[in-house]
Structure 1
Amino acid sequence: MLRDRDDAAVARLLQLRPDLATPPPTDFSQIASRATPRHSVTQALHLLTAFEVWVAARASNQTGAFSASDLVVDRVELADLETALDRLLELSLVWGDASSLRPVRAMASMLAQVDQSDVPTSRPPGVESQPPQSAPLVAKVAAGSAFEFVRRMDVLVEHCDHQPTKLVRRGGLAARDVRTLASLLDIPSSVAAAHLEIAQGAGLLGIAARGSDDVLLPTAEYDTWRGLALTDQWARLVDAWLRHHPPSGPWWLKGLCLEAFGDPEDAVVVTPAGLRRWLAWQRPRRHVSADREAMTMLEQSAWLGVTALGARSGFLSFDVSPMGVASADAVRVDERRLAALLPPRVDHVLVQADLTAVAPGPLSPDAARDLGALADVESRGGATVYRFSTSSLQRAQRLGWTSDDILATLAQRSTTPLPQPLTYLVRDLDRQPLQRRPPSREQERAPHRLSQRATASGSDPDLTTDDQLDAAALSAIISALRNDDPDESQDSSGRTSDNVFQSPILTLREAVETGEVVWFGLVDTHGSSFERVVHALSVDGGWLTARDVKTREAVSIALHRITAAHIMRSAS
């Protein structure tokens, strides 16, 4: 019974089935009642593997109490059945102890279509269809992808700072603007759109009002992010991708897909077909969109640096649970391993006579902020090329830069002498003065910063997993359950005080699922009070169907006439 579980087991149940804890239950009867309706059972069944679904179907066909030995068939080991039943017990899809189990009744109709003659394997299928890669080579290629991803994201957000991107009425970007960003970043439009979504999910971009329009602008969080080490920048972006990017699936699906790659040191190559086979066994009752999301995740993980050459890089690790990742906070980034493969930051550029500046590596935060304010990114590859133009310098002037500031900063940042054409271009600003505001020094370097407001656009997160409770919430719920445990108020006869008779329907539903004897009080049509002790069979349509313990007579009683109920755990 639920009351007999220790705190860790109760917490595990509420983690796996968060709908049972919303709103916070006040007693175990509420949890039992919430665990039996079809919608809740459906969500729990989505957490089962193909073999566990088959075992659940076998269990739901049992006419009475059963044990693992009652489910044994050819080619199925008893130990595998016991493991699967432990999983069903953990999810409260079966009740009782190992020698006397009963299934939740809703499972019978929901699993009626399962072919019990087709026994799935109790082990996940292999995904290997190609020779493994070299783990060091995978790490090097993935580090390059991670580096380029961070650089592209920096360019994208800086572009939105200089040219705020207007949102259309439905909240997204116009196709033309997405193509502009794709051209700027030299990536496909679909990848550019994903970059925007991840930037919003990471809090680097927010929505601000410009007149009657909403535009995307950098947030104050972007300034913080820009000052981080490259590894920390990548970790923040990947965390946003895992948690806040619905098009590539909820974080638990991403974790489950990455689990298919196994140990990164083995450098196992996972193909789309292999990943589909893996998911088909791991989550046979998954939503129809899961395969599409998994394919999107597989594609994106390559340009993120999470995978490379079809194998997992090893920069991202997590604690695996039966539903994917144990918790979103269990995701970790091996920053030391990644940092060893990334180029060091530089604080200088090479200014050339053609009005360009070449950054020979990733720029330090201050240098990137200076060059971003004074020039536009022209190309990115082994080295970033910035181009100075009249428009870029006028933009800096509007932000408060004087020609002397610009020349002094460029002289400090450049390892080559400033060419005369660039000096003339800067001095020309004084001949065409613009109206500019006198910002503070911080405002010069951080224009248009907003408080974080936006998260990634997309559908609501998966409610069966993304709404997991944190440790503090779980502890509070369990403490409340233990403090208000009805069993503590029982007297020697097995009856309880009046304060436990607050929800007779919940108690009756629990009795239906557990098969235990239940006592209840009722009032007839004349106002007379009665008591009965029965085996509850069903609670449906406003009626209790039961069988009297003494007479074995079938009875049906309107629920509104039942005034109190209590499970008689001391009854024989």
Structure 2
Amino acid sequence: MSTASLADHYRALTDEQLERLFAARPDLAVPVPSDFSVLAQRAHSRMSVARALDHLDRFHLEVLDALRLVAGPNHRADRKEAMDLLRSAPDFSVRRVLDHLVTLGLAWPDGETTLRLPSMLDEVASRYTAGLGRPIAALIQDERTDDLTPVLAALHLPSVPQPEATALISDAFGDPVRLTALLDACPPEAIALLERLAGGGNPVGALRDVRRPTDPNDADTPGRWLLVHGLLVPLDASTVELPREVGLALRGDAPLGPVHPVEPAPAAATPVAKDRIDGAGAGQALEVLRQTASLLDACADDPPPVLKAGGLGVRELRRLARAAGVDEPTAALLLEIAHEAGLLARTSDADPTWLPTSSFDVWQATPAERRWAQLAGAWSSMARMPALVGTRDERDRAVAALSAEVTRSAAPTLRSQTLHVLVEYPGPLSEADIVGVLDWRAPRRGGRRRDEVVSEQLGEATTLGVLAQTTLTTFGKALVTGGDPIPALAGLLPDPVDHVLVQADLTVVAPGPLEPALSAEMALVADVESAGGATVYRVTPESVRRALDAGRSGSDLQSFFSARSRTPVPQSLTYLIDDMARRHGGLRVGAASAYLRSDDPTLLATVLADRRCADLGLRRIADTVLVSSTAVNRVIETLRACGYVPAAEDASGGLVLGWPEARRAPARPPRGAPRGANEISLDQDYLAGAAAAVRRGDEAARAARRAPVLTQPGEADPGAALSILQQAARDRARVWLSYVDAHGGVTARIVRPVSVGAGYLRAEDDRTETEHTFALHRVVSAIRTPD
């Protein structure tokens, strides 16, 4: 069957074939095109063709190159000629790919043996088809006659002016026997140069002093010999191009070069025991949870400001990394993930800062496996590349964490493709193996940084525990394949413990992850000294004072350690708690601007005489009261720094107790990753509806082109039109309805009358599947359409 255009080809497709087209190229169906002409225009657009090519594997592109080579300027390719170029590949593989290119609309049949190609391919695909240069005629057609005279002489052709000179040289290069003889006469150094350009995938090369001799006898270098014989064509003073005819002759029986019909399979490696992989991944998952909580706590303690250009400053990132005990790249990664997961946000005040959100408190109270799943899910779908933090942008400025410069729309797709390679090829894989598979599956998506990005994403997956030794963990595989990782991870994590081990040196060992309530109490009464499988806390005078400030009494702390410790509570800890509880509140600080009072006049005299407190401007107004012009908070901080244990009191003389309220930003939902058109998932109902809508719209558009001559207002018989509409409503038939629109013009459309009465016509438009109401006094005419 011969089709004149892509629109005609689409009209000839079945609904099932249309649905396959829309499934393979979703951008063609969103929004639904109004008819097949619009669909063909959309399929021919530069953006749509480029997007379709980006999703083709290496062999599909090689088959497409074969079609382009034999197509010529009319974009019509002979199937048999293209298959002859691909004779080194299995015939069934070539036919399968050709059929798939037709399904994608990147080729369509024009007769029994001919395929047509979109003209936009020449702009979107590589300029050098299959790594071959342009034909000799295209390269020299604009050269002057004087510049081509030496080439004609070297080829033993008569000296003629342009454009005859181009035609003669082109005919000579088109003669296989003559071209083979010319190549046989090349010096060995010149042949080596030609073979590098013919087999390297790029027919353009650089030469010093690109100058064609005026006489063939003056060709004193291999490069000048090739230039004067037309085997290389100068593009400028330092660049040459290998003509297509020469490249094909040098390639011989492999005109396309090596073809790759089969995906490269990574070399088999010795698998690592699954329990070792899962154990290492689970341990890393716990470490990530601890590091993330430490980073967000550091943000809450001293909120970092938001840069004017957005993002987090380098110094602030370094400070947060030190506070959490991680390196800066890890800190940047975890902050980006926390922001994506809705645990970190910028405030909306005049001087915005980065603060944990109220969702962070909920997150901390959930089981460890759910906390990890929230972080890992945010990472897998986020359109950001944290590894860019600290690099330089095009203006040579450092890229800041949490800034817009880190966003890359292709990140989720490449991350998913990388991890799916590990799903399909289990076992330890090298980065080179992974890159090799990706390079075959999507060669156009390579880019200069693709290899680096793959390495960075594998490092991020290892940091999160998704990978261990470049092997997916069980819960990591569930995450990648769309399953639920929580059950798999829950079975690997140790159960939360409800006890600690108090040591004689005032350290407290948590032998595993603590229950949320116990973890919160330990954070209040002790400081983390080291973290890992077993967290080590240290009880200090400052941490005990912090607990006392929060309203705990000495007896409360003694009872807490006695109940929670599996080891005897050492006397050193008992003495520390008793001493701090006895001293706590011995000084009371209130607002005068500030005052100090104590039942112990000696203690007040000691404070008054302490030179370290001189800046507070203290003066005695009674034996048990000192006053200061300094603010209460600063008085308390200074006294604590000097070793005293003051307590704040309110206007009634009662102690002001309580844990300082954590600063939080408003909660926000996790951010959704932007998706490209080809990442849109269209369900079967949408595909079927889109195919039906395009077909209806095309029928209506074609019918509109065959519309009868519209009757002008005043020329029609309203009674006849009303009678036709009433009969059409009874027969459920379609009519051409001419009516006066809101602008006073006459418009026609095909409708199916539903009812006529009360001065109005209700009718359905089959194309849009909507019902319209028309005032009968605006109807000009009605003509039954043939069924």
Please give the TM-score of this superposition, normalised by the length of structure 2: 0.53
Q: Which AA in structure 2 matches 1:258?
A: L
**Contact preservation (8 Å) 1:142, 1:307:** yes
The alpha carbon displacement at 1:307 in A equals: 1.4
Q: Which AA in structure 1 matches 2:450?
A: A
- Give deviations 1:92-135, integer Å, cap 9, x for gaps: 32235997643222113423422361233222213337543333
- Give deviations 1:501-560, integer Å, cap 9, x for gaps: xxxxxxxxxxxxxxxxxxxxxxxxxxxxxxxxxxxxxxxxxxxxxxxxxxxxxxxxxxxx
From 412, 416, 430, the counterpart of 1:255: 416
From 568, 576, 586, the counterpart of 1:421: 576
3-state DSSP of counterpart to 2:647:
coil
Counterpart position of 2:76: 64
Counterpart position of 1:227: 365
Counterpart position of 2:173: none
The alpha carbon displacement at 1:222 in A equals: 2.1
3-state DSSP of counterpart to 1:165:
coil
Cα distance change, pair 221–96 in 1 and its aligned pair in 2 (3 A): farther
**Contact preservation (8 Å) 2:21, 2:103:** yes
3-state DSSP of counterpart to 1:316:
helix
2:436 is aligned with 1:309:
no
Cα distance change, pair 134–41 in 1 and its aligned pair in 2 (3 A): same
**Contact preservation (8 Å) 2:23, 2:687:** no
Measured in 2, the distance between the counterparts of 1:7 and 1:231 equals 46
Measured in 1, the distance between the counterparts of 2:691 and 2:546 equals 62
3-state DSSP of counterpart to 1:315:
helix
Measured in 1, the distance between the counterparts of 2:478 and 2:51 equals 23
Cα distance change, pair 46–447 in 1 and its aligned pair in 2 (3 A): same
Unaligned 5+ residue runs, structure 1? 320-324, 499-572
Cα distance change, pair 490–214 in 1 and its aligned pair in 2 (3 A): closer
3-state DSSP of counterpart to 1:345:
coil
Q: CA RMSD of the aligned region, Å? A: 4.0
How do 1:41-120 and structure 2 match up within 5 A? Answer: 41-61=49-69, 62=71, 63-64=75-76, 66-67=78-79, 70-72=82-84, 73-96=86-109, 101-109=115-123, 110-113=125-128, 114-115=130-131, 117-120=256-259
Measured in 2, the distance between the counterparts of 1:230 and 1:305 equals 13
Measured in 2, the distance between the counterparts of 1:77 and 1:188 equals 52
The alpha carbon displacement at 1:282 in A equals: 1.6
Measured in 1, the distance between the counterparts of 2:14 and 2:524 equals 59
2:307 is aligned with 1:294:
no
Measured in 2, the distance between the counterparts of 1:364 and 1:204 equals 21
Counterpart position of 1:565: none
From 334, 337, 341, the counterpart of 1:195: 334
Measured in 1, the distance between the counterparts of 2:13 and 2:575 equals 79
The alpha carbon displacement at 1:295 in A equals: 1.3
Greater length-normalized contact order (CA 8 Å, ≥ 6 residues apart) = 1
Cα distance change, pair 415–84 in 1 and its aligned pair in 2 (3 A): same
**Contact preservation (8 Å) 2:300, 2:662:** no
The 10-residue stretch of structure 1 (21-30 or 296-305) with the greater mean CA deviation from structure 2: 21-30
2:365 is aligned with 1:241:
no
Measured in 2, the distance between the counterparts of 1:33 and 1:332 equals 39
Measured in 2, the distance between the counterparts of 1:216 and 1:46 equals 38
**Contact preservation (8 Å) 2:340, 2:378:** yes
From 529, 537, 551, the counterpart of 1:378: 529
Counterpart position of 1:537: none
Q: Which AA in structure 2 matches 1:331?
A: G
Cα distance change, pair 490–353 in 1 and its aligned pair in 2 (3 A): same
- Give deviations 1:217-252, integer Å, cap 9, x for gaps: 222322333233322222221111111152166222
Measured in 1, the distance between the counterparts of 2:519 and 2:103 equals 52
**Contact preservation (8 Å) 2:34, 2:698:** no
Counterpart position of 1:40: 48
Counterpart position of 1:433: 647
3-state DSSP of counterpart to 2:362:
helix
Cα distance change, pair 292–358 in 1 and its aligned pair in 2 (3 A): same
The alpha carbon displacement at 1:260 in A equals: 2.4
- Give deviations 1:440-496, integer Å, cap 9, x for gaps: xx998875252126759xxx8563555x2565xx855863662462344488x9966
3-state DSSP of counterpart to 1:190:
helix
3-state DSSP of counterpart to 2:308:
coil
The alpha carbon displacement at 1:258 in A equals: 1.9
How do 1:157-168 and structure 2 match up within 5 A? Answer: 157-168=296-307
From 430, 433, 438, the counterpart of 1:274: 433
Counterpart position of 1:30: 38
Q: Which AA in structure 1 matches 2:95?
A: E
Cα distance change, pair 36–139 in 1 and its aligned pair in 2 (3 A): same
Cα distance change, pair 60–187 in 1 and its aligned pair in 2 (3 A): same
3-state DSSP of counterpart to 2:513:
coil
Measured in 2, the distance between the counterparts of 1:370 and 1:293 equals 42
Counterpart position of 2:551: 402
2:475 is aligned with 1:463:
no
3-state DSSP of counterpart to 2:352:
strand
How do 1:10-25 and structure 2 match up within 5 A? Answer: 13=21, 17-21=25-29, 23=31, 25=33
The alpha carbon displacement at 1:362 in A equals: 1.2
The alpha carbon displacement at 1:193 in A equals: 0.9
**Contact preservation (8 Å) 2:58, 2:440:** yes
Count the aligned residue pairs: 474
Cα distance change, pair 352–496 in 1 and its aligned pair in 2 (3 A): farther
Structure whose alpha-carbon radius of gyration is higher: 2
Measured in 1, the distance between the counterparts of 2:458 and 2:281 equals 14
How do 1:105-184 and structure 2 match up within 5 A? Answer: 105-109=119-123, 110-113=125-128, 114-115=130-131, 117-128=256-267, 130-184=269-323
Cα distance change, pair 56–192 in 1 and its aligned pair in 2 (3 A): same
**Contact preservation (8 Å) 1:206, 1:216:** yes
Counterpart position of 1:217: 355
The alpha carbon displacement at 1:56 in A equals: 1.7
**Contact preservation (8 Å) 1:166, 1:216:** yes
Cα distance change, pair 316–99 in 1 and its aligned pair in 2 (3 A): farther
3-state DSSP of counterpart to 1:221:
helix
Q: Which AA in structure 2 matches 1:33?
A: Q
Measured in 2, the distance between the counterparts of 1:263 and 1:105 equals 37
Q: Which AA in structure 2 matches 1:78?
A: D
Cα distance change, pair 96–350 in 1 and its aligned pair in 2 (3 A): farther
The alpha carbon displacement at 1:261 in A equals: 2.4
How do 1:419-498 and structure 2 match up within 5 A? Answer: 419-425=574-580, 430-431=585-586, 432-434=646-648, 448=664, 450-452=666-668, 455=671, 463-465=676-678, 468-469=680-681, 471=683, 475=685, 479=689, 482-483=692-693, 485-489=696-700
Cα distance change, pair 318–144 in 1 and its aligned pair in 2 (3 A): closer
Cα distance change, pair 449–495 in 1 and its aligned pair in 2 (3 A): closer
**Contact preservation (8 Å) 1:390, 1:425:** yes
The alpha carbon displacement at 1:179 in A equals: 2.5
Unaligned 5+ residue runs, structure 2? 1-8, 132-254, 387-409, 587-645, 709-787
Q: Which AA in structure 1 matches 2:76?
A: G
The alpha carbon displacement at 1:296 in A equals: 0.5
**Contact preservation (8 Å) 1:204, 1:218:** yes
Cα distance change, pair 307–480 in 1 and its aligned pair in 2 (3 A): closer
Cα distance change, pair 245–388 in 1 and its aligned pair in 2 (3 A): farther
Cα distance change, pair 360–426 in 1 and its aligned pair in 2 (3 A): farther
The 10-residue stretch of structure 1 (294-303 or 13-22) with the greater mean CA deviation from structure 2: 13-22
Measured in 1, the distance between the counterparts of 2:335 and 2:321 equals 11
